[in-house]
Amino acid sequence: MKCCMSELFEKEIINLRDGACLGTADDFEFDMTCGKLTAVTVCIKPRGISIGKKGEKIRIEYEKIQVIGDDTILVDCDLPRRESIPAKESLLSSVFRDG
């Protein structure tokens, strides 16, 4: 399968460990001596509403990439757990109140 670099940046990166969509590729790392892909950098999508917020960047080694498909890149990596915002502390809970 052939693929342009621009197409790689559009693919969502999914972690097979928990099914989470990590985001899209922020950068790719290549070994210039042989031209092989060595890693992908992902800017992890923040959870919840995050206007103007950027997620942290992580580097995923090539060995952790399982499949590069038509729409997604599947990876198998152990990432630190991200805590979701409890409902009563979320921005929307202050806007939408019961009753």
Domain range enclosing 26: 5-95
Q: 0.85 exceeded by the pTM?
A: no
pLDDT tens per residue across all 99 residues of the chain: 678 888 989 999 999 999 989 989 999 999 999 989 899 999 876 665 555 556 688 999 999 999 999 999 999 998 765 554 444 445 555 555 555
Number of domains into which the chain is organized? 1
60 CA to centre of own chain:
10
Which residues are registered as beta bridge partners of 38?
Answer: none
The CATH number linked to 66 is 2.30.30.240
Cα–Cα distance measured from residue 37 to residue 84, given in angstroms and rounded to the nearest whole number:
33
- How far are the Cα atoms of 27, 30, 61, 99 from residue 5, in angstroms, in the given order? 10, 12, 18, 51
Q: What token pair was written down for 13?
A: 């990166």
Task: Identify the pLDDT of residue 44.
Answer: 77
